[in-house]
Chains A and B, each alone.
Chain A
Amino acid sequence: MKFRDTIVSIITRFMLPFITLFGLYLIVHVHISPGGGFSGGTVVGAGFVLLSLTYGISMQERKFSHRTSTLIESGGALVYIFFGIVAFFYGQPFLSNLPIFPAGDPGRLFSGGFIAFLNIAIGVKVASTIVALFDSLGGEDLH
C-alpha cells in the first residue's frame, strides 16, 4: 500500500506538528481540563500513525524502531513506579502527593503536585503503545 498521494502528504506534513502539540497540551493540562495522560497519549500516537499511513511502514521503522518503543514503554512504567517510591523516603505510603512537588493555586498550570509528571510518563507510554500496535497489526510483513 505504498502510494504517495500528493494532497495527503502535503496535508499530513502541515497538520502533524499541530496534532502533536494538541496532544501534548492535553497531557499536561490534566488537572485543569478534561484530558490527561490517556487521551493526550492517544492523540500523539495517532499523529505518528498518520505518518505511517501516508508514507508507508518503512518511514515508521526509521523513526520508531521496535527497540525504541520497548525501551520507552518500560521506561514510562518504571518512571511511574519511581515517583511512587519517592514517597517512601518521606515516610508516607506509596504514591502520596508530597509537598516537595509544586503546589500552586488551583487553576494554574503548576498546581496539583506530581499528577502532571505521572501523566507525562503515561502519555509517552500510551503513544508508544498505539504506534507499536499499529505496527504489528497493520504491518506489511508479519513475522
Chain B
Amino acid sequence: MYYFASIVLFLIGFYILLTHPNLIKKVIGLNVMDSAIFFFFVAVGFVADGGSPIVEGSQDALTVNPVPSGLMLTGIVVSVSVTAFALAIIIKVYQHYGTINVEEIYVVRSEREC
C-alpha cells in the first residue's frame, strides 16, 4: 500500500518537472520526486508490529529496520544540495536572460543564433 502511494507521488513529481515551464516549479517537482523515493525507502524498512529500533536493555524485541532510514538521511542531504545549487543557478539565469520561463529562454537563444 505504501509502495503504491510512493510510486504515484514519484509520477506526480516527474510530471511537474516535465510540463511546467517555470524553472522554480521544476525544482519543486524534483523535490517531490525525491521525497517520494525517501518515502519508498522508509516503507521498505517497515516491519509489522515492530517497535522503535533503539537499544534499551533487552535486545530481543522486534524492531523496525533502521538501515533505510539511515540511508535516507544521506539522501535528504544530497537532495538539499541539489536544490540549493539549482536555485543558485536559476538566480544566474535570471540575471543573464531576464526571465525564468523556459519557453522564453528558448526564444532568446534562437534570436541570438541568427
Contact = CB atoms under 8 A, between A and B. Distances in A.
Q: Do A and B bind each other?
A: yes
Interface of A: 32-34, 36, 38-39, 106-107, 126, 133, 136-137, 142
Interface string B33-65: 000000000000000000000111100000000
| Chain B contact patch, size range | 10 to 19
Contacts of B93: none
Contact of A106 (B56, B73, B76): B56
Nearest to B69: A34
6 A-B pairs closest in CB distance: A106-B55, A107-B56, A38-B73, A133-B84, A38-B77, A137-B88
A38 B91 CA distance: 26
Nearest to A122: B77
Interface of B: 54-57, 69, 73, 76-77, 84, 87-88, 91
Contacts, number: 23
A38 B76 contact: yes
Nearest to B85: A133
Given A32-B54, A106-B57, A137-B84, 12 more contacts: A33-B54, A36-B73, A38-B73, A38-B76, A38-B77, A39-B73, A106-B56, A107-B57, A126-B77, A133-B84, A136-B88, A137-B87
Contacts of B55: 106-107
A127 B77 CA distance: 13
Contacts of B84: 133, 137
A142 B55 CA distance: 49
Contacts of B88: 136-137
B17 to A, nearest CB: 21
